[in-house]
Structure 1
Amino acid sequence: MIISKTYDVAILGTGIGGTILGAILARHGLKVLLLEGGAHPRFAIGESTIPETTFMFRLLAERYGVPEIGYLSNFQRVRRHVSSTCGIKRSFSFVYHRVGEPQRLEESMQFSNAPPPLGPDVHLFRQDVDAYMLSVAVGHGATVQQHAEVTDVDFDGRGVTIATRHGGAFRARYFVDAGGLRSFLARKLDLREDPCPLRTRSRSLYTHMLGVLPYDACGDTHVDHGLPTPLSQATLHNLFKGGWMWVIPFDNHPSSTNRLVSVGLQLNLDIHPPTGAPPEEEFRRIVATMPKVARQFERARAVREWTSLPRLQFSSRRTAGDRWCMLPHAASFVDPLYSSGLAVTMSTINILASRLIQAASDGDFSAARFAHVETWMRRNFDYFDRLVSGSYNAYRDFNLWNAWIRLWMVGGLYGALGVLARVVHYQGAKDKLLDAPCEGFPYRGIQGHEIPEFAALFEAAQREMDAVVAGELASEEAARRIFQHVEASGLWPEPWGPARPGKRNPGGYNLALLMRTGQWAIDRAPEVVRRHFSRGASMPVILKLVADDWADEVRVSIGNAALHLRDYFVMANGDYDVAARRSLAMDTAPPPAEATSEPAASTAGAGPLSAP
């Protein structure tokens, strides 16, 4: 076997996780090889962001000096810099349905995302976004091999030898599996746990569709529901006993150039076991039980084959070893509910990248160095598994779910504030790479779940839910107790109003509410919040973000209009200078390793869930 090139880090999988990690490492001078069994553009899910994810894009850009990652941090930035094919996400919208009955307007809820300059969040059209991030990684010095299906990896004391189907072989000091569900290392090292121990038990059917009506156009608008933003400008969750459906539109903003809508149906295996029916037939059967949803989809048609997964959950006995590790979606998966996958992935990349950069310098690629990465990946998955499995249990009764989701709302606030506090910290840090405190308590847990007060709240609510499942407590009483626990915790922000069943949203998250919530975190929140989570919530920080964001929007808009006006009258121009400056700006890393030639082949990729 002829080794064509040697690299510091080889990454298998070129989805958003693998390419962001590759861009960071290459930016810091590591020789990075990105391996992909298929080719871009390609379909992938993991399309809906949450504030904790988009704030983490800002953190990675600031800490590691890769500004292009920051372009993913809200809808406006994506539209300006990446693609016009993505959708806007102003909120999470939840609508509860009873089989065969008209939807009850009061059985709905909404949790708004941050306004500009921090938001709104974004529906990522992954085939465009992943391809963009791949180009960013290459621009910073990474080498990419597409149509390079890996057939074997062989570890020794100094690194790993990687063989590909068409005879190419590579050598690396460290190997990262970012390959998703069909992880190569999971098969090679027999890492999958069987049976999977996760509490959540769900299966999934999903595709992209055309002709899906906006939910607000199907009869009742968000105003009728008493909610602050249109339900179609959100990730819409249609909830029912035993399952839920995502509706993620990419066409929900006037500037969008993409008519597709991502649609996925998740079913509790214990209530809706596999039927053997074709996926679309099963989808239509479930949709027909919800009159308003049936109207939403009556003219919809799939533009690609449906994907059907008999069980979504998988887990691994280990996620890191000597000279290898797995990114979260190659290691484990819970459920798409609450769009947690990208948040866990970006949080893991933050603590993994710093260790890989140090290891490339001192040569220590041992499992011990990466134990922290494995520990907190596992703990974050365990937290989301408990949160999601509790949600499936709560779908039996709207009032119970209405109470349970308050845990997610509280956690979402502190997860986002914790990341924002670190972004502000890094802006003034001298050594951003080795700044260990920002990788410690209480920032390691997604959704702030290691805050003692929040952990106590979650445990109390979990006991009530477990009693319901065991038949020891009525759903109505459990809901009442969970609301009491939320109020008693002191974590529910005063500007959101009281945590009561009738309060189905904290209000439209405009700039005024954002500032009031930030001031509460600084002045009146529990001590742990004031100490660790308020730094990014101060008025000067927010106002500076507003000024920078508005200036960027004006600059881009006026610049585009001026170029358009010029083109009416002048043919000659110096626009190539702009392209030249951009090219030179990317050339801040050492020259990339010389690309090798891998024969192209029509090989299948790792699958639609391959690389988050």
Structure 2
Amino acid sequence: MRVDSDILVIGSGFGGALVATVLSQLRYQVTVVDKASHPRFTIGESSTPLADRTLKRIASRFKLDWLAPLCSYGTAQDLRPHVTVGLKRGFSYFQHTAHADFQPRQDRSTELLIAASTADHIADTHWLRSTTDNYIAAKLVDAGGKLIDNFRVHQIDRSDNWSVSGCIASDAEPTQNPSSVELTARFLIDASGPGSVFARDFIRGDDTSQLKTHTAAIYGHFSELQDWNDLYVQAGGDDRPHPYVSHRAAVHHLIDEGWVWQLGFDNGVTSCGIVLDRNSLSANPLANGSGEDLWQRILRRYPTLQKQFADARLVAPSRLVVRDRLQFLRSVGAGSQWLALPSAMGFVDPLHSTGIAHTLAAVEKIAEMFSRCSQDDPFPSHRFLQAYADQVRSELLWIDELVSMCYAARFDFSLFAAATLTYFVVVTAAEKDERDGFLSVNHRELLASVGSVAQRVRDLRKKHASGVASPSEIRETVVWIRKTMAPFNQVGLMDPQKQNLYQHTAPPDKTA
């Protein structure tokens, strides 16, 4: 079989399928290939106000009425049974101590709750990606786009056009004589993530060593997980002042080894993972034994988490996924007649739920570039492609700065809260004015202030490791961070009187 197209997209996750749909709306002939088929398990599931706003603009501009409901929890219910989501009212953080029950305190010094919306119906969502990706890919096909599942790339060549040879062969149903496919296209988009076959053949450099964040992860989807808020109340916590039910959010349980994420979906499934901070561990905990063994060993160290998971069972995939390092950064993100989505250029960490928003921001950039093209010059120039790649790279490095700062602060929860709220100062500023790029990456004064905060946090981390960081110095640093970020703090974050509970940080479109 031979397929000729204007544009070939490798990867049919929501980013690849959506950019293909948008380009089809711009009257390009687009073919999407993927090594697997939908629906399939994947993570990267937590949306944000920035993501929802970008999605809404894309849906409006390209008349994708079927896409717009994903922008909020209330309207996402209209997509059932095709799409499953979960309610995300904000970001919840809880500090655990090894070999001790979780201990709520009157001063809220072991918790941090940051509302991202003021009501359920306008709230953000967790995307059960097996359903959302399948939904968007199906809409691409409905609109006339071509999708080839279970495609194995054998070779990618470039002369005047791109030429990709491969075959269709499912892992689930291997055949003795897989059907051969020859694909040609004038432009190529890599949306295939960290395991990119395009990068393998066409990108020689790797810049992962430039990233400060260094984490590993074990994860899967569970059923029968006990609601965290019930355990919080059982432990003596008063949940009445909380801005939302604490587990109706992106939940972060901080532990010595890193943190545990929990994202609940409406079908009773919860996405759970343990992220391991390799910078703070003396040895690689994944070097020996299985992911399941390590999962259980870690849970046993934290009695309240062990109790929460007592009846939970893994439902997808068949075994826990183990990733020895989550981070990667490729040296090149675009070239002559090709570009990569952020997920194929690099990835930092799930700590601040930046993945969906970052991908959608790139889709919008790509749509803008291609919408400016003409029949005589139908593809973006090298200058525009290089500017796109440079921008996405700077965004990845900026995310790394924000995330690694928070990891460096984990040794003290008050310092971690200050570092995390520094991130939310950045994101709430970006929500009010997106002209400075994704997460205000082009706002030089903001970047300089955050850089000084990050450096002071890292210096204090070094002193802590040497046993010379005093409680008074940590308190002074928290006060200094508050003053340093005050010029950019537009929503009242870092207010000691709030006792780590923030109800009014939502942008206007997330306020009822």
- Normalised TM-score (structure 2): 0.88
CA shift, 1:237, in A, is: 0.5
Deviations 1:443-465 (A, max 9, x none): 32x22243344223202212211
Is this contact kept in 2: 1:406–1:486, CA < 8 A?
A: no
Q: Structure 1 181/98 Cα, relative in aligned 2: closer, same or farther at 3 Å?
A: same
> 2: CA distance between counterparts of 1:194 and 1:411?
25
Matching residue's letter, 1:128: T
Identical residues among aligned pairs (%): 23
Matched position secondary structure for 1:111? strand
Is this contact kept in 1: 2:95–2:102, CA < 8 A?
A: yes
CA shift, 1:27, in A, is: 1.4
Partner of 1:182: 195
Determine whether 1:124 maps to 2:127: yes
CA shift, 1:341, in A, is: 1.1
**What does residue range 273-352 of structure 1 map to in structure 2 within 5 Å?**
273=284, 274-303=286-315, 304=317, 305-352=319-366
Deviations 1:459-512 (A, max 9, x none): 221221131133287374245334434335322236x376228630222x4xxx
Partner of 1:161: 163
Partner of 1:139: 142
Is this contact kept in 2: 1:322–1:365, CA < 8 A?
A: no
CA shift, 1:71, in A, is: 2.0
Matching residue's letter, 1:266: V
Q: Structure 1 152/96 Cα, relative in aligned 2: closer, same or farther at 3 Å?
A: same
Determine whether 1:51 maps to 2:54: no
Matched position secondary structure for 2:482? helix
> 2: CA distance between counterparts of 1:90 and 1:475?
36
Determine whether 1:232 maps to 2:247: yes
> 2: CA distance between counterparts of 1:118 and 1:408?
25
> 1: CA distance between counterparts of 2:494 and 2:111?
17
Determine whether 1:264 maps to 2:261: no
- Normalised TM-score (structure 1): 0.74
Matching residue's letter, 1:484: W
Q: Structure 1 5/195 Cα, relative in aligned 2: closer, same or farther at 3 Å?
A: closer
> 1: CA distance between counterparts of 2:208 and 2:349?
17
Out of 489, 492, 513, the residue aligned to residue 489 of structure 2 is: 492
**By percentage of residues, which structure has more helix?**
1
Determine whether 1:443 maps to 2:440: no
Partner of 1:379: 394
Q: Which has the larger radius of gyration?
A: 1
> 2: CA distance between counterparts of 1:501 and 1:395?
22
- Structure 2 runs not aligned, ≥5 long: 168-178
Q: Structure 1 460/290 Cα, relative in aligned 2: closer, same or farther at 3 Å?
A: same
Matching residue's letter, 1:398: F
Matching residue's letter, 1:401: F
> 1: CA distance between counterparts of 2:256 and 2:494?
27
> 2: CA distance between counterparts of 1:358 and 1:87?
37
Partner of 1:504: 500
Q: Structure 1 7/117 Cα, relative in aligned 2: closer, same or farther at 3 Å?
A: farther
Q: Structure 1 22/175 Cα, relative in aligned 2: closer, same or farther at 3 Å?
A: same
Partner of 1:71: 69
**What does residue range 192-231 of structure 1 map to in structure 2 within 5 Å?**
193=206, 196-220=209-233, 223-224=238-239, 226-231=241-246
Q: Structure 1 400/311 Cα, relative in aligned 2: closer, same or farther at 3 Å?
A: same
Is this contact kept in 2: 1:111–1:506, CA < 8 A?
A: yes
Matched position secondary structure for 1:149? strand
Is this contact kept in 1: 2:51–2:360, CA < 8 A?
A: yes
> 2: CA distance between counterparts of 1:46 and 1:186?
21
> 2: CA distance between counterparts of 1:275 and 1:220?
37
> 1: CA distance between counterparts of 2:483 and 2:497?
12
- Structure 1 runs not aligned, ≥5 long: 251-255, 420-441, 519-536, 547-612
Is this contact kept in 2: 1:31–1:141, CA < 8 A?
A: no
Partner of 1:112: 115
Partner of 2:86: 87
CA shift, 1:44, in A, is: 0.9
Deviations 1:86-132 (A, max 9, x none): 21111110001111122232210011112359830101111111011
Out of 4, 15, 18, the residue aligned to residue 17 of structure 1 is: 15
**By percentage of residues, which structure has more strand?**
2
Matched position secondary structure for 2:16? helix
Q: Structure 1 130/468 Cα, relative in aligned 2: closer, same or farther at 3 Å?
A: same
**What does residue range 434-473 of structure 1 map to in structure 2 within 5 Å?**
442-444=435-437, 446-471=438-463
Matching residue's letter, 1:415: A
Is this contact kept in 1: 2:219–2:272, CA < 8 A?
A: yes
Number of equivalences: 483
Q: Structure 1 456/360 Cα, relative in aligned 2: closer, same or farther at 3 Å?
A: same
